[in-house]
């Protein structure tokens, strides 16, 4: 058949169009209505038989106006969105009579799924906005297509072009950003990302060690099992070009358990990585916190890592006071945490008082004065208390306390009495010389050598009678292993003396367990009496004098009160390849440094000293020198004035010191000078000399005067002229410690420095804090 169209109001294509002019019977064709509606609006569609064109069939088609077409648009049509950030989009659908809205989808050549971003909804009504969130990682290429498709007519859609850019996070900060850790210990870090609109946070990384409990803004870092510097980095997820790092010094220091760090008494912590000559400065180093105690802290604070205490594992600092109290503080936590306190005063007794002893040099309280010693094998603190009845009967006791709890160990305490401690001698008019708990001053630090705690004594001022005593107590049961007295016999000078006080220094000891002490003014005969002498004591069977040295001018030194024993304990220096293998170095009140051969100390010569070396220095010695990297650090005293600290270079090839100072501090120290401590790495880097100017200690033999704050100094150990920092530099008194005490020694460990003070007590009945431990370290931010 053939097909044709006709109408009263149209002709040709204005009546419409056909897909074919002819077709077989039963085969459909398609009629397409014209765009314009004819008038009249009817069109006749005629099919005529091709065999007999007189045979036709007609269909009448009524043409109606078509509805307007659906169209879709998106606003905005394009956008640039930073990674992790958001952008609102809305689709408008024209001629969607049933308001079916659109569906949304994302696509891109460089992404798929969520790597193209995410949408807050999969569909929306016309004009209703949705939120697009850009991916954290920028796709490559960075273009993403956002498509809105009409639900009513899925052939109708619109596309918005999105360009994903890296977020501008501004900055990443980290807390803490510097500090110290003991090997295998943990520290929590917190990161802050500015302009992190998507709250994507950071990723964590480190040069060694491991992380746990990681979140987008915090992580717990566990230090490695070996010492050194570790860098911890927090990197912005939104913008990986933004990151920040913290430098942590990891130490394997076993502890500062004895006076001046070790039995050689050199004052060196050679396991210090956190403190450097660059970061010990006012902007990055200062006072972190203080711990309050009941009395002045004369003894050196002692530091012990990894103590099982209070249900956890902590680094602790041990402090003793002049009111016979012992404190164990957390070494790192601010504000101060006290794990325990023990006041070791029996019922009916109290701590001592200067008024009973004829000397105001230590004022006003007298309790635990000598630096304790801590046994690492049993975590036992050994110390000596001084107490009295309500009258003037005095007692001294050796205590052994558990480090974790403060509990007394077996057989502790032991009373130190004249009935237990005595020697044969006539220096006090009888046949024996007995220990006097009242007059004997336990000033020196204790020493722990080969399972024996050695305690030494001198006097309060020069109030007679007194002697130099050394008594050894076995750690196994606190029984006495040996007794030595420096002045048991009378030689007609009218006194005994020969005290061992060494300005608070402790006996040194060598690898053969020999002890080395120095004595003050006193009787001398070179047989039994050894005032003004360096003594070597054998400990293999009790205590016996095995060698000694006394200056040729001992008599004049004694008469002029220029004793050698005012200096801190001798330093032991071993030089396996030097001309003298085993050296001993000590200062003196007569401004001479003596260098002795420990294997042949040369005894006494009436005209000259047969020593390895002796040389004059500026300043009398009331302190223990320090020794590091072939340098001797000496902080002497000028009576009535100040004296700079100095370093003297040691030549290993000659086994002697250069007698001219290689460097000196920019400013001087007042009496009593200073016992320096040195921190450095094992490789000899970042050597720092720490020293306390305690000139405002507030007491003297002529009475008390107003005490004022101590000043802690830090110097470049290679050049003392380069002062790195001191506690009086920061504005507003930020770093000011408590009021000074005499002979105190700084303890340096794990990125911190600890010093003892008398708090705000000015010794003139003013103040409310009578003891204070001040803790310095790297400022966290």
696, part of any domain: yes
pLDDT-based confidence at 197, cuts 50/70/90? low
User: For the chain, how far is it from start to end, CA to CA, in angstroms?
Assistant: 95
Separation CA 217–CA 203 (nearest Å): 8
The answer to whether residues 585 and 665 belong to one domain is yes
Q: Is the pLDDT of residue 168 over 80?
A: no
The residues, any chain, with a CB within 8 Å of residue 440's CB and separated by 6 or more, are 396, 457, 458, 459, 466, 467, 469
Question: Domain check: are 240 and 303 in the same one?
Answer: no
Nearest to 455, CA basis, from 517, 513, 411 = 517
pLDDT(700) > 80: no
**Residue written as token pair 């010695």:** 621
Residue 69 is given by DSSP the state: P
pLDDT of 703 over the 70 cut: no
Final residue before a domain boundary, out of 165, 189, 209: 165
3-state SS assignment for residue 143: strand
Which is nearest to 755 in space by CA: 739, 767, 768?
739
User: Is the predicted pLDDT of residue 269 greater than 80, yes or no?
Assistant: yes
Judge whether 362 lies within some domain.
Answer: yes
Q: Which tens digit of pLDDT belongs to each residue from 319-365? A: 999 999 999 999 999 999 999 999 999 999 999 999 999 898 898 99
Distances (CA, A) of 673 to 422, 697, 745: 35, 11, 11
Task: Mark whether 365 and 222 lie in a shared domain.
Answer: no
Residues 6+ apart with CB under 8 A from 572: 263, 264, 265, 266, 508, 509, 510, 516, 582, 583, 584, 598
Helix (H) or strand (E) holding 558: helix 554-559
Same domain as 88, residue 42: no
Answer whether residue 727 shows pLDDT above 90. yes
Instruction: Flag whether pLDDT at 170 surpasses 80.
Output: no
d(CA 441, CA 456): 9
- pLDDT tier for residue 199 given thresholds of 50, 70 and 90: confident
Average pLDDT over residues 646-660: 96
Whether residue 375 sits in one domain with residue 319: yes
Q: What is the residue range of 144's domain?
A: 71-165
Cβ–Cβ < 8 Å for 571, 586? yes
pLDDT of residue 430: 93
Per-residue pLDDT, 488:
97
CATH number at residue 293: 2.140.10.10
Write down the pTM of the prediction: 0.83
Going by pLDDT thresholds of 50, 70 and 90, the confidence category of residue 699 is confident
Do 459 and 522 form a contact (C-beta atoms < 8 A)? no
- Same domain for 116 and 25: no
* Same domain? 478 vs 590: yes
Highest mean pLDDT: which range of 6-10, 264-268, 387-391: 264-268
* Boundary residue ending a domain (131, 165, 199): 165
Taking CA atoms, 85 is separated from 118, 119, 225, 238, in Å, by 11, 12, 41, 9
Tell me if 261 is assigned to some domain: no
Check which CATH number belongs to the domain holding 221 and give it: 2.60.40.10
The verdict on residue 260 lying in a domain is no
Domain boundary among 140, 165, 190: 165
Across the chain, what does the average pLDDT equal? Answer: 94
pLDDT of residue 698: 87
DSSP 8-class letter at 10 = B
Residues 41 and 88 in one domain: no
223 within some domain: yes
**Same structural domain, 17 and 146:** no
DSSP secondary structure letter of residue 489: S
| 257 falls within a domain | no
Are 146 and 30 within one domain?
Answer: no
C-alpha distances in angstroms, 147 versus 86, 158, 573? Answer: 17, 6, 82
| 402: pLDDT strictly greater than 70 | yes
Q: pLDDT, tens digit, for every residue of 460-494?
A: 989 999 999 999 999 999 999 999 999 999 887 88
Q: Summarize pLDDT for 704-715 with one digit per residue, the tens.
A: 789 999 999 999
What confidence score (pLDDT) does residue 169 get?
A: 63
- Whichever domain contains 153, its CATH number is 2.60.40.1080
Task: Supply the pLDDT for residue 200.
Answer: 84
In this structure, are 284 and 197 located in the same domain? Answer: no
One domain for residues 302 and 393? yes
Task: Answer yes or no: is 440 within a domain.
Answer: yes
- What is the structure's pLDDT at 644? 98
Domain count, the chain: 4
Q: Three-class SS of residue 555?
A: helix
Mean pLDDT value of segment 551-559: 94
Q: Is 263 within the bounds of a domain? A: no
pLDDT, average across residues 409-424: 98
pLDDT at 212 over 80: yes
């Amino acid at each position: 058949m053939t097909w044709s169209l006709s109408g009263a109001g149209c002709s040709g294509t204005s009546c419409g169009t056909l897909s074919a002019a002819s077709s077989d019977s039963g085969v459909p064709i398609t009629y397409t209505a014209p765009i314009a509606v004819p008038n009249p609006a009817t069109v006749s569609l005629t099919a005529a038989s091709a065999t007999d064109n007189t045979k036709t069939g007609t269909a009448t088609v009524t043409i109606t106006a078509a509805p307007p077409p659906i169209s879709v648009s998106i606003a905005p049509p394009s956008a640039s969105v930073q990674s992790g950030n958001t952008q609102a989009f809305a689709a408008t659908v024209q001629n969607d009579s049933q308001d079916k809205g659109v569906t949304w989808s994302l696509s891109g050549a460089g992404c798929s799924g969520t790597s193209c971003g995410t949408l807050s909804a999969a569909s929306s009504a016309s004009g209703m906005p949705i939120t697009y969130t850009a991916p954290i990682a920028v796709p490559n290429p960075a273009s993403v297509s956002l498509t809105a498709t009409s639900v009513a007519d899925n052939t109708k859609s619109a596309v918005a072009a999105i360009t994903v850019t890296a977020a501008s996070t501004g900055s990443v900060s980290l807390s803490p950003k510097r500090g110290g850790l003991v090997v295998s210990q943990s520290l929590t870090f917190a990161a802050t990302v500015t302009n992190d609109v998507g709250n994507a946070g950071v990723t964590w990384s480190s040069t060694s060690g491991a992380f746990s409990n990681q979140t987008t803004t915090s992580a717990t870092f566990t230090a490695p099992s070996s010492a050194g510097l570790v860098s911890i980095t927090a990197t912005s997820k939104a913008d990986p070009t933004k990151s920040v790092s913290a430098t942590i010094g990891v130490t394997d220091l076993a502890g500062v358990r004895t006076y001046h760090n070790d039995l050689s008494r050199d004052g060196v912590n050679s396991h210090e990585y956190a403190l450097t000559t660059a970061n010990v400065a006012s902007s990055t180093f200062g006072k972190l916190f203080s711990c309050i105690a009941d009395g002045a802290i004369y003894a050196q604070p002692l530091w012990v890592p990894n103590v099982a205490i209070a249900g956890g594992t902590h680094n602790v600092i041990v402090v003793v006071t002049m009111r016979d109290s012992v404190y164990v503080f957390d070494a790192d936590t601010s504000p101060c945490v006290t794990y325990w306190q023990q006041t070791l005063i029996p019922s009916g007794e109290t701590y001592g008082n200067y008024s009973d002893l004829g000397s105001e040099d230590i004022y006003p309280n007298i309790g635990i004065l000598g630096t304790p010693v801590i046994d690492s094998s049993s975590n036992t603190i050994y110390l000596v208390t001084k107490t009295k009845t309500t009258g003037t009967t005095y007692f001294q006791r050796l205590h052994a306390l558990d480090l974790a709890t403060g509990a007394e160990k077996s057989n502790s305490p032991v009373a130190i009495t004249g009935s237990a401690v005595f020697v044969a001698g006539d220096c006090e008019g009888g046949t024996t010389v007995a220990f006097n708990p009242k007059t004997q001053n336990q000033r020196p630090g204790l020493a722990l050598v080969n399972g024996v705690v050695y305690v030494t004594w001198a006097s309060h001022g020069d109030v007679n009678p007194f002697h130099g005593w050394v008594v050894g107590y076995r750690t196994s049961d606190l029984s006495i292993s040996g007794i030595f007295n420096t002045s048991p016999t009378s030689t007609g000078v009218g006194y005994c003396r020969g005290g061992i006080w060494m300005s608070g220094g402790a006996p040194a000891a060598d690898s053969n367990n020999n002890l080395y002490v120095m004595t003050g003014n006193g009787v001398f005969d070179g047989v039994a009496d050894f005032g003004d002498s360096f003594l070597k004591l054998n400990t293999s069977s009790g205590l016996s004098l095995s060698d000694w040295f006394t200056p040729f001018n001992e008599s004049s030194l004694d008469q002029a009160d220029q004793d050698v024993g005012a200096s801190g304990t001798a330093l032991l220096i071993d030089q396996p390849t030097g001309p003298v293998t085993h050296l001993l170095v000590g200062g003196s009140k007569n401004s001479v440094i003596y260098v002795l051969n420990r294997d042949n100390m040369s005894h006494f010569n009436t005209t000259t000293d047969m020593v390895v070396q002796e040389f004059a220095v500026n300043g009398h010695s009331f302190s223990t020198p320090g020794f590091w990297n072939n340098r001797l650090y000496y902080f002497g005293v000028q009576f009535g004035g100040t004296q700079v600290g100095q370093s003297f270079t040691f030549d290993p090839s000659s086994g002697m010191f250069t007698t001219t100072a290689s460097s000196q501090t920019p400013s001087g120290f007042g009496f009593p000078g200073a016992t320096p401590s040195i921190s450095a790495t094992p490789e000899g880097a970042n050597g720092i000399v720490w020293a306390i100017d305690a000139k405002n200690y507030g007491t003297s033999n002529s009475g008390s005067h107003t005490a004022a704050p101590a000043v802690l100094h830090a110097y470049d150990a290679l050049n003392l002229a380069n002062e790195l920092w001191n506690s009086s530099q920061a504005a507003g008194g930020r770093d000011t410690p408590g009021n000074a005490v005499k002979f105190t020694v700084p303890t340096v460990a794990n990125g911190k420095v600890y010093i003892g003070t008398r708090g705000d007590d000015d010794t003139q009945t003013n103040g409310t804090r009578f003891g204070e431990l001040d803790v310095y370290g790297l400022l966290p931010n």
